[in-house]
Amino acid sequence: MSTLSRRILAWLDERFGAGSIEDFLRHKTVPQHRHTVWYYFGGMTLFLFVIQVLTGILLLLYYRPTPNDAFESVQYIVTQVRFGWLIRSIHSWSANLMVFTAFVHMFSVYFLKAYRKPRELTWISGMLLLFIVMGFGFSGYLLPWNTLAFFATKVGTEMAGAVPVAGKWMLTFLRGGEEVTGATLTRFFGFHVAVLPGLATVLLAMHLLLVQRLGMSVPPSVERAIAEGREPTRSMPFFPNFLLRDIIGWYAALGVLGALAAIFPWELGTKADPFASAPAGIRPEWYFLFMFQTLKYLPPKILFLEGEFAGLVGFGLAGAVWVIVPFLDYRAGFGRVTRFFTGLGIFALGFMVVMSALALR
């Protein structure tokens, strides 16, 4: 390191105490084993989130969140603003990529049991972040105010109304009224650019802090292999080795996003007309498809419950179970692999994939 940078860091260290951070980073290591590749997905999701924030801020410079102007402002961005097409398409594609990497990250953590003690809070904050990411997706989808988005939002918020007692209140809260109107758009915009980012920042800070404090988890199988002397303990320094690899992945993601934006630009659609009838084949974005498809298969009544409501309850329970899995699979804390949870994970993943595939047919 040059003297100049050394001096700047020393200056900062006197004020921030940054020296300890620097020390920490220097000494942070990442375990190396056959499952190391999964460690990259958290950072990739974070990177894509940063891309979303940056492109989102740029879009904010031109977007107008009213029914009269929303569609036209997106049209303006895509056709008049220089490189607007690029920013908008990157934002839309990166949103989908981020949801994908978030799910991969979550499932890899699940199957490698990284949620076990002492990382329970990391898991919980991560699950909450996943829900927030899906909330970002749902709220952002409405903003271009095109036909598909309008009706997908209508169908999606309708499901909230199926919950008894609280359902009506939830529906009017989400929609800003009885129907999907300009009030809904304003509200979703508020969620998308203020509420959710705020929540995400707080949870992200907690999540990252915990990861730094607790270090990277090593899968139980590897831990056992090391204990039994079948495998050596290998690790690489976070800085620069792991980080450089991270950066390669991030560059590759940028390349993919650019290619998608230029070759498969995100559609503008047609402006939403609340009084027109819904076009055939309305469905939500792909990450909601498995729920959408399941609800379609449910019979009108299950025992004494209305079918749709029962489905929602089912998903709610499943979600709740998933969030508290570190406490349910407490045996993992002792390094024991309980097959039941592995099976449950495979079932969940399989279910989501099969349902989504069926919805796409």
The site for another protein (CB under 8 A) is made up of 54, 58, 61, 64, 67-69, 72-73, 75-76, 78-87, 89, 236-237, 240-241, 244-245, 247-248, 251-252, 254-255, 258-259, 261-263, 265, 267-268
Distance, CA of 62 to CA of 287 (rounded, Å): 28
Minimum distance between the CB of residue 196 and another protein, rounded to whole angstroms?
Answer: 23
Minimum distance between the CB of residue 75 and another protein, rounded to whole angstroms?
Answer: 7
Distance, CA of 191 to CA of 137 (rounded, Å): 11
Which residues neighbour 72 within 8 Å (Cβ) at sequence distance 6 or greater?
Answer: 64, 271
The dihedrals phi and psi of 115, each to the nearest 5 degrees, come to: -80, -10
Minimum distance between the CB of residue 256 and another protein, rounded to whole angstroms?
Answer: 10
Minimum distance between the CB of residue 57 and another protein, rounded to whole angstroms?
Answer: 10
Distance, CA of 136 to CA of 329 (rounded, Å): 30
Minimum distance between the CB of residue 212 and another protein, rounded to whole angstroms?
Answer: 22
**In 3-state terms, what secondary structure has residue 102?**
helix
Q: In this structure, which amino acid lies at residue 264?
A: F
The nearer residue to another protein, 29 or 342, going by C-beta atoms, is 29
The nearer residue to another protein, 78 or 171, going by C-beta atoms, is 78
Distance, CA of 47 to CA of 218 (rounded, Å): 23
The nearer residue to another protein, 262 or 317, going by C-beta atoms, is 262
Q: What is the DSSP letter of 284?
A: -
Q: What is the DSSP letter of 276?
A: S
Q: What share of the chain is helix, strand, coil (3-state, %, to 5)?
A: 70, 5, 25
Minimum distance between the CB of residue 181 and another protein, rounded to whole angstroms?
Answer: 12
The nearer residue to another protein, 110 or 145, going by C-beta atoms, is 145
The nearer residue to another protein, 56 or 161, going by C-beta atoms, is 56
**In 3-state terms, what secondary structure has residue 75?**
helix
Which residues neighbour 195 within 8 Å (Cβ) at sequence distance 6 or greater?
Answer: none
Closest CA to 272 of 349, 182, 170: 182
Distance, CA of 316 to CA of 53 (rounded, Å): 29
The nearer residue to another protein, 249 or 307, going by C-beta atoms, is 249
Minimum distance between the CB of residue 66 and another protein, rounded to whole angstroms?
Answer: 9
Residue 279 contacts residue 147 (beta carbons within 8 Å):
yes
Both tokens of 322, joined, read: 């998933």
The nearer residue to another protein, 72 or 178, going by C-beta atoms, is 72
The nearer residue to another protein, 83 or 173, going by C-beta atoms, is 83
Minimum distance between the CB of residue 354 and another protein, rounded to whole angstroms?
Answer: 32
